[in-house]
Amino acid sequence: MPITTEELEYEYNKLYRTCCYTSLAIPLPRIEASSSFTSPTAPLGGPRLASFGIAAKTLSNPPVTQEVSVAPSSTSAAFSSSSIGSAPLQLAVVGNGTYGALIDRRSRVVWCCMDRFDGDPIFNSLLNNDSEESGFFDVVLQGQVRSEQKYIPNTAILVTTLSSKNNDVVQVKDFAPKFIHYDRMFRPFQLFRVITRIRGDPMITVRVRPTFNYNSTDGYQTRGSHHIRFCGPTDTWRMTSNASIRTIIEEVPFLVHDPVYIVFGQDESFANSLTQVSKEFEDKTLKYWKQWCMNLVLPVDYQDILARSAITLSLLQSDECGGIVSSLTTGIPLGPSSPPTRDERACRILDICMSLPVLRQFGLFTMVRRFLEYVKNLCFSSGMNVRPVYSLIGDSDVPGERVIYLAGYQGVGEVVVGGVGEGYGSRQSGGGSSPSVNINDPSIPMYGLFCIALAHGFFDVRLKDICSPKVFDRLEKFGTKAVEAFQMFVTYTHAPPPSGGEDLPPGHRENLSPGLCFDDDLRLLTMAEDDYDDENAGVDGADREWAHQQGLSDDSRDSYGRPRVHTFTSILCWAACDRLQRVAEHLHWVEKSKMWG
């Protein structure tokens, strides 16, 4: 329902009093009761409630189907209708294993979930049609005409060089601290930005515009002599700098003479000199990444590319949990008419388990060890209901929600958060008089994947503390389920169509042998991911019409009416038994080796 003027003023004044009671609060412009408001429906990614001072806790998370009406804003961004793909995704990754930030070639932070990989993105303009209103942190050089971006070799420290038409050059260095401190890994929720004059008299503007609750509110600000606090409904972040705080708040251009140090992160004050701390953290972070790359095993060819790929992969792994996310964002659409994307800030077990031997060959043993600890935890916490996708904390059932305050990448599509495990429910193959068989249960291939992954721990002496007889007992339960599934595949038969195949569609009058249809169509392995195309997941084209005439509308059957099984799924069932037999033989467990052999 529309928001009345009285409700708007009440919520605003409540927030205003909160600001005034805070030390050195920055007051917001007052809204008078006599102001006239209209209440059109808010467009996708349009004006946010915080533009009018409404407390985020009241209307920050409306239901997916609810439309929230707000007053129009004169500062709302006008979203362009440019086609997707017109601007390439040339983004650099900066992180330290606790968070990840994406920075474009303009030195603009366009995406950053500061508290965790799958948390609330305080900088989110990447998925808000590259908004110029909010959701970013950038350094703007006056008269800029060119930019160059590169990493310091063998590190995760990013250097962006901005040049102006007057031949003024300024350098922006971004890094997330990561090094050993007090015998443990120090990786704070902080982004360091060092702005240095290279040539001329560069005049820059620093713009820091975070948002909260997926862009639903800007929160409010308080300031100190050398810092700004950005306060949201549940989180508070602090920006500390040796530059003039007032010029940053009011976004006033200023000349760069001495290096400018900016730290954005957790709400903690600096006890020491900001300049000294920045230099010390940069030196230690540089040394850490140089040493990290020394442990890589690289071939002679393509060393730079492989080293950069290894560093980027390490930035996608959570040091706290061990899981590796598929992406730092909630997903980029494939095209203008593509369906809503899933939240890719989750761990896809299949991709990583099959890559473990390669990671070990490249010397990424620590990464493999942390991931195996993550998989071991899933084995004991998920029971027998294992799934292909998990959140970083091991949750396989996170409800999805559409974010109405983000316009999407280049204004295309919707932004969906969560949704981990949705669409991976069991699917029964029905039809005919044959018994119901759970052929497309997504747990079936996972039994083999878990056995393949954790088998590394039984053969590598450096992983003996991870894999124990208790782990083997758990894997045996997975192996038993894999055997049952494979026997179901090879014994469940279906009578072929009438002799001669006259009732078959064109092109399907051969190979009429009864039994199982082993298919290499990848849709059968990822069928649960294509919820929006379930009707087309089985028989295609003219075959679909024929299948409906024969009463074979189930997407788990081929055009002959036989159960369709992905070949890779059946191989993983065999692999579960094979790995259990090899582990038992390696541990000299004769009886178990014979049983699984």
Q: What are the backbone angles phi and psi of residue 105, rounded to the nearest 5°?
A: -75, -10
116-164 pLDDT, tens digit per residue, is 999 999 999 999 989 999 999 999 999 999 999 999 999 999 999 999 9
Q: What is the pTM of this model?
A: 0.76
In this prediction, residue 338 carries a pLDDT of 73
In this prediction, residue 436 carries a pLDDT of 37
In this prediction, residue 71 carries a pLDDT of 28
390-420 pLDDT, tens digit per residue, is 999 888 778 888 888 998 888 877 888 888 7
Of 23-32, 425-434, 468-477, the least confident: 23-32
- Buried-exposed string 455-484: b where 16+ CB fall within 10 A, e elsewhere: bbbbebeebeebbeeebbebbbebbbbbbe
Distance CA 420, CA 390 (A): 6
Q: Which amino acid is at 442?
A: P
Residue 9 has pLDDT above 60, yes or no: no
Could you tell me the residue ranges of all domains in the chain?
91-295
Residues 233 and 56: beta-carbon distance below 8 Å: yes
Going by C-alpha positions, the residue among 123, 104, 103 that lies closest to residue 115 is 123
The pLDDT > 90 percentage for the chain reads 48
In this prediction, residue 516 carries a pLDDT of 40
In this prediction, residue 197 carries a pLDDT of 97
Residue 56 has pLDDT above 80, yes or no: no
205 bridge partner residues: 140
247-257 pLDDT, tens digit per residue, is 999 999 999 99
Element (H, E) at 167: none
Q: Which of the pair, 375 or 568, is modelled with greater confidence? A: 375
Distance CA 140, CA 112 (A): 19
Residues 277 and 270: beta-carbon distance below 8 Å: yes
Residue 59 has pLDDT above 50, yes or no: no
Which range has highest mean pLDDT (364-378, 393-407, 432-446, 477-491)? 364-378
Q: Which of the pair, 388 or 198, is modelled with greater confidence? A: 198
256-286 pLDDT, tens digit per residue, is 999 999 999 999 988 889 999 999 999 999 9
Residue 52 has pLDDT above 50, yes or no: no
Residues 259 and 171: beta-carbon distance below 8 Å: no
CATH architecture of 91-295: Distorted Sandwich (2.70)
Residue 505 has pLDDT above 70, yes or no: no
Of 52-66, 350-364, 468-482, the least confident: 52-66
Instruction: Identify the three-state secondary structure at position 95.
Output: strand
Instruction: Identify the three-state secondary structure at position 261.
Output: strand
Mean pLDDT (whole number) for 440-462:
87
Give the tokens for residue 430.
């029905």
Going by C-alpha positions, the residue among 167, 165, 104 that lies closest to residue 139 is 104
Mean pLDDT (whole number) for 182-187:
92
Q: What are the backbone angles phi and psi of residue 408, rounded to the nearest 5°?
A: 95, 170
In this prediction, residue 46 carries a pLDDT of 34
In this prediction, residue 84 carries a pLDDT of 44
Quote the mean pLDDT of the chain: 76
Residue 479 has pLDDT above 80, yes or no: yes
Mean pLDDT (whole number) for 105-109:
95
Mean pLDDT (whole number) for 502-531:
41
